Amino acid sequence: MALAPLIENDRRQEPRYYAEEYEPPVQPIDWVRIAACGSLIAGGCLLVAGKKREGVVLAASGTALALFDHEETLRHWWQALPQYVDRTQQFVEQVQGVVDDITEKGHSLRRALGR
């Protein structure tokens, strides 16, 4: 029975663990995000219900609160906005030029067919 003392010696050297109550990490409540989500949901419900003015006001305030939480993204968009406006203006000018060309060709075709 020489094994019994060896097992008891091994058990004595093992660290002992005690059961402790698990406490999940507490995260702070993000009231800005909750207010933004609530405003967006309430605005959407009001829009569906047919109250356009109130729904748009709540949806706009919820959007503003949501963007308030993402200042860096908003700042990046604000700096990129003039480039998008310029590109859009160039695109509209190109479309207007194409429409003018089509109109002019249509007039010349009508004149040619009318003779």
Tell whether 40 and 65 lie within a shared domain: yes
Residue 39 to residue 57: CA distance in whole angstroms:
9
The reported pLDDT for the residue numbered 79 is: 94
Mean pLDDT of 43-51: 94
Residue 21 forms part of a structural domain: no
The reported pLDDT for the residue numbered 94 is: 97
The reported pLDDT for the residue numbered 6 is: 54
pLDDT at 5 over 60: no
Residue-range definition of the domain harbouring residue 101: 78-109
Residue 42 forms part of a structural domain: yes
Burial of 3 (0-12, 13-18, 19+ CB in 10 A): exposed
Number of domain units in the chain: 2
Number of H helices, E strands in the chain: 4, 0
Q: Please tell me whether residue 40 adopts helix, strand or coil conformation.
A: helix
pLDDT band at 73 (very low <50, low <70, confident <90, very high): confident
- pTM of the predicted protein model: 0.47
pLDDT at 21 over 70: yes
